[in-house]
Chains A and B, each alone.
Chain A
Amino acid sequence: MTVDSQNTGRAFYRKQADLLPEKAAPVTSVGALGWLRTNMFSGWFNTGLTLIAVYILWRIIPPIVDWVFLTSDVEGVDRFACTNSGACWAWLDQRIRQYLYGFYPADQIWRVNIAVILLFPALAPMLFSGMPYKRILSWFSLAYPVIATILIIGGLGLEPVSTNRFGGFMLNLIVGLSGIVLSLPVGIVLALARRSQLPIVRTLSVLFIEAVRGVPLLTLLFVSNIILPIFLPPDVTFDSLVRVIIMVTAFSAAYMAEVIRGGLQAIPRGQYEAAQAMGLNYSKMMALIILPQALKISIPGIVNTFIGLFKDTTLVILIGLFDILGIGKAMVANPDWQGLGTETYAFVACFFFVVCFSMSRYSVYLEKRLDTEERR
C-alpha cells in the first residue's frame, strides 16, 4: 500500500472511475467447465485419476446395461427360450414367488404379506422421533412379534404352516429380524455383565463374548445342526429354523455386547455417581440414567451389527435351508434353468443391497440427528 501511494503520489484510496471495469471470470473457472477443472483436472495427478475413473466407468457401465437390459430375454418357460446374448430373465415370472416366499403354501401367502406390511407401522415409532400417535404405535410395536409369529406360523384359527416350508427372502427376513429383536436385549445383558462388579458374572460374560466372537458363524451353524442333537436328550428335537435363530442371535449378541459396552464406557462417571447420590439402586440407575444414554450413542454401531447379521443370513444355505440364495441355486440345478448363475446372483444381490443400504443410510441419518442433538 505504501508502494502504491508513493508511486501515484495520491491518497490511499482510489476513485471509482479509476478502477478497471470488472471482468467476467474466465470460462475455465466458473460454470460447468470451472467446476470440472477445480474438481477433476487440477494438476497432472488429479487428471490422471479422473482419466482412470472415466476409463473404468466406460469399461463397466455399457456392458452391464447391455447385458441387463438391451440384449436380455424376458419371456419363455425355460432357458432355451432365451436366444439373445445378454441376460436371461425368463424365470422371473415363473419363479418369483419361490424367491420371495420359498415353499410357503400359495393360498396362505397373504399372511406373509400382511406381516410384512404391518412391519412398517411397527418399526416407525422406533426409527423416527416425532411420529404422530406414538403411544398407540409403540404398543403396536410391542405386540408385533407375537402378531407376526401367529400370522406366519399359524394358530388362532389360521392353518398351521411348518417352518420347513419357509424359504426365499422371507426366510432371510425372519432369521434377520428375529436375530435383531432377540440379540439386542441379550447383548445389553452381556454388556452389563461384562462391566459388572461380580467376578463370576463378569468372567462368564467375557468368556462367552470372546468365544463366540472368536469363531466363524459357519461353525456355530454346524454346531446347531450336527452337535446339538448329541447334546439333547433322545427324542427331543428343536425346529431347525429355531436352532438357526438361536445361533444367529448368540453370534450377533456377542458383537452387540461389545458395541454397547463401548457406549457404556463413554458415559462419564459423574452420571453413575449422580444416580447413586439420588438413591437409585442398580437396576433403576441402569434403566433410567445409564442405558438410555449409552444405547443412544451406540445406535450407529448397533445398526451396523444389524446389517452384518442380515447379510449373514445367507449362510443358512450351507446347512441346507433355502433362503433366497439357496432358492436361486436350487433353480439353476433344475435342467430347465441351469447355467443362469450370474442372473441369479445379480438378482439376489439387489435384494440385499436395498435392505442393507437403507439400513446404513438410516444409521447415517441417526448419526447426524444425534450430532445436532449434542450441540443443542
Chain B
Amino acid sequence: MAAAAGIDNEAKSTNVLRLWTDERARGVILQVVVLVSLAAFIAMIVSNTLANLERAGLDVGFGFLDNPAFFEINQKLISYSSTSSYGRALIVGLLNTLLVAAMGIVTATIVGFSAGVLRLSPNWLVSRLVATYVETIRNIPVLLQIIFWWTILIELPKVADSVVIGGGIYLNNRGVRLPAPILEAGFGWVFFAFLLAVVATIMIATWAHRRHDKSGQTFPVFWVGLGLIIGLPLATHFALGQPVSWDVPVKQRFNYTGGFNIVPELVALWFALSVYTGAFISEIVRSGIMAVSKGQTEAASALGLRSGQTMRLVVIPQALRVIIPPLTSQYLNLTKNSSLAIAIGYQDVVATGNIILNQSGRSLEIVGIWMLIYLSLSLLTSAFMNWYNKHISLVER
C-alpha cells in the first residue's frame, strides 16, 4: 500500500503509522505488548507474594515434606503410619487418587458402552429406560451424586450384622473385607509363569495375524491366550505346592481385622463417578455407532459376517475413531472429578493435602503440588490416548 505511494511521500512522521499498517510489524508489536504486560503481571504477583510472606515471616520450600505427618490415613496402598512424613502421606493420597480413577475409568467405559449400545436397541422399553438413566444422571451435579451414594452406602448392615459372602469375605457399612494373599517363597515363579504366558500370547497373536494376512486362516488367539494366561500360572502354583497363604479377616471387638478392606467412601466415589461418566460415555458411543454408515453393516452382512462379527470387526473399529477423542476428555474429567472425594472423606491427594495444609500452613506449596499432579496425570492420559488414537486411525492408501 505504502509502496504504491512512492518513496518521496514517505515522511518520517508517518513511519509509526506505517508500522501499524504493516501486518507483520503489527504482529510483533502486539506480541511484545502481550509479553511485557504478562511479565509485569507476574512480577507484580511475585513481589506481592514475597512481601506478604516476608510480613508473615514465612518461607517457601519443600523441606517440610520430610516432617512427620502425625495423622492417620484409612486406606493406604503402601505402608504408612502417623509417624511417616508429609511427603509419604501425599504419595499415599496420590495412589488413592490413581486407584479410584483407574477403577472408575474401567467401569465407566463398561457402563457407557453397554448403555450406548442398549440405547440403540430396538427394544422400546430398554432404550427408554437407558435414555432416562442418561438424561437424569447427566443433569444432576456429580458432587450431589457422590454425597448421595455415600449416604446410601453407610446404611448397609452394621458390623455385627455383616453379610457373610463366603470365602472369608464380609460386607458391612465399613466396607468389603477380603482375604489378603500372603506370598511365600516360590511365588516369584508363579509370577514369572504369568509374565511368560503374556509374552507367549503376544507372540502367538502376532504370528496368527501374519498368517491370517497371508493365508486367510484364522486362529482362536483369544481362547488360547486366555488359557495360557490363566493356566500356566495356575499350573506352576499347584506344581510348587501352593506357595500362597491367605490372611483371612477375623472379627475382633470392634471390626473385622486382617485381610484387605475396601472402604465405602471408595465405593461411593467409584460408583458415582462410574455412573456419572458412564452416562456421558454412552452418548459418545451412541453417536459414534450412528456415525458409521449403514452401508458398512449391509456390506458386512453381504459378505456373510454374523451380527456379532459385524459389530466387532466392522462397526466398532470405525466407531472408535469417532469415539476416542471425546472419550479421552471424559477420562480426564473423571480423574479430575475424583478430587471431590474430599466431600465424603475418601483420602485422595486433595484430602490428604488439605490436612497437611491445615497443619503446616504451607498453602502455596500444597496447591502447587496438587496442580502439578493433576496436570501430569492429564498430560499422561492425553498422551496415551493420542497414541492409541493414532494406532487405530484410518491408514489411507
What are the residues of chain B within 8 A of A341 when measuring CB–CB? 147, 151
Query: Is there a chain A Cβ closer than 8 Å to B379's Cβ?
Result: yes
In the complex, the answer to whether B374 meets A219 with C-beta atoms within 8 Å is yes
Query: Is there a chain B Cβ closer than 8 Å to A360's Cβ?
Result: yes
In the complex, the answer to whether A53 meets B140 with C-beta atoms within 8 Å is no
Query: Is there a chain A Cβ closer than 8 Å to B274's Cβ?
Result: no
A325 and B140 alpha carbons, distance in the complex (Å): 12
What are the residues of chain A within 8 A of B45 when measuring CB–CB? 231
Which stretch from A63-71, A150-158, A346-354 is at the chain B interface? A346-354
In the complex, the answer to whether A214 meets B378 with C-beta atoms within 8 Å is yes
B152 smallest CB distance to A (angstroms): 8
What are the residues of chain B within 8 A of A214 when measuring CB–CB? 332, 374-375, 377-379
Query: Is there a chain A Cβ closer than 8 Å to B298's Cβ?
Result: no
A214 and B328 alpha carbons, distance in the complex (Å): 12
Q: Mark B50-62, 1 if CB is under 8 A from A, else 0.
A: 0111010000000
Query: Is there a chain A Cβ closer than 8 Å to B364's Cβ?
Result: yes
What are the residues of chain B within 8 A of A356 when measuring CB–CB? 138-140
Interface residues of A in 70-97 (CB under 8 A from B): none
What are the residues of chain B within 8 A of A42 when measuring CB–CB? 122
What are the residues of chain B within 8 A of A39 when measuring CB–CB? 122-125
A312 and B233 alpha carbons, distance in the complex (Å): 47
The B contact surface, by secondary structure, is helix
Query: Is there a chain B Cβ closer than 8 Å to A165's Cβ?
Result: no
What are the residues of chain A within 8 A of B31 when measuring CB–CB? 198-201
Q: Which of B45, B367, B374 has the most CB of A within 10 A?
A: B367
Query: Is there a chain A Cβ closer than 8 Å to B102's Cβ?
Result: no
In the complex, the answer to whether A227 meets B367 with C-beta atoms within 8 Å is yes
In the complex, the answer to whether B143 meets A325 with C-beta atoms within 8 Å is yes
Query: Is there a chain A Cβ closer than 8 Å to B167's Cβ?
Result: no
Q: Mark B123-140, 1 if CB is under 8 A from A, else 0.
A: 111100100000110111
Instruction: Say whether, besides A311-B140, A311-B141, A311-B142, A211 and B375 are in contact (CB < 8 Å).
Output: yes
Instruction: Say whether, besides A219-B370, A360-B135, A40 and B363 are in contact (CB < 8 Å).
Output: no
A311 and B142 alpha carbons, distance in the complex (Å): 8
Interface residues of B in 24-83 (CB under 8 A from A): 27, 30-31, 34-35, 38, 45, 48-49, 51-53, 55
Partner pick for B141 among A222, A227, A312, A342, CB 8 A cutoff? A312
What are the residues of chain A within 8 A of B144 when measuring CB–CB? 314, 325, 345, 348-349, 352
In the complex, the answer to whether B375 meets A218 with C-beta atoms within 8 Å is no
Query: Is there a chain B Cβ closer than 8 Å to A233's Cβ?
Result: yes
Total B residues in contact with A, Cβ cutoff 8 Å: 52
In the complex, the answer to whether A234 meets B143 with C-beta atoms within 8 Å is no
In the complex, the answer to whether B52 meets A204 with C-beta atoms within 8 Å is no
Partner pick for A226 among B135, B332, B367, CB 8 A cutoff? B367
Query: Is there a chain A Cβ closer than 8 Å to B343's Cβ?
Result: yes
Interface residues of A in 38-55 (CB under 8 A from B): 38-40, 42, 46, 49-50, 53-54
In the complex, the answer to whether B126 meets A50 with C-beta atoms within 8 Å is yes
Partner pick for B129 among A53, A215, A315, CB 8 A cutoff? A53
What are the residues of chain A within 8 A of B121 when measuring CB–CB? 46, 49
Query: Is there a chain A Cβ closer than 8 Å to B204's Cβ?
Result: no
Partner pick for B48 among A54, A216, A218, A232, CB 8 A cutoff? A232
Please report A residues at the B interface, Cβ cutoff 8 Å: 38-40, 42, 46, 49-50, 53-54, 56-57, 197-201, 204, 210-211, 213-219, 222-223, 226-227, 229-234, 307, 311-315, 317-318, 325, 341-342, 345, 348-349, 352-353, 356-357, 360
14 of the cross-chain contacts (CB-CB < 8 Å) are: A56-B129, A214-B332, A215-B371, A216-B339, A217-B336, A218-B339, A219-B371, A227-B363, A231-B48, A311-B140, A318-B343, A341-B147, A345-B147, A352-B141
Please report B residues at the A interface, Cβ cutoff 8 Å: 27, 30-31, 34-35, 38, 45, 48-49, 51-53, 55, 118, 121-126, 129, 135-136, 138-144, 147-148, 151, 332, 336-337, 339-340, 342-343, 350, 357, 363-364, 367, 370-371, 374-375, 377-379
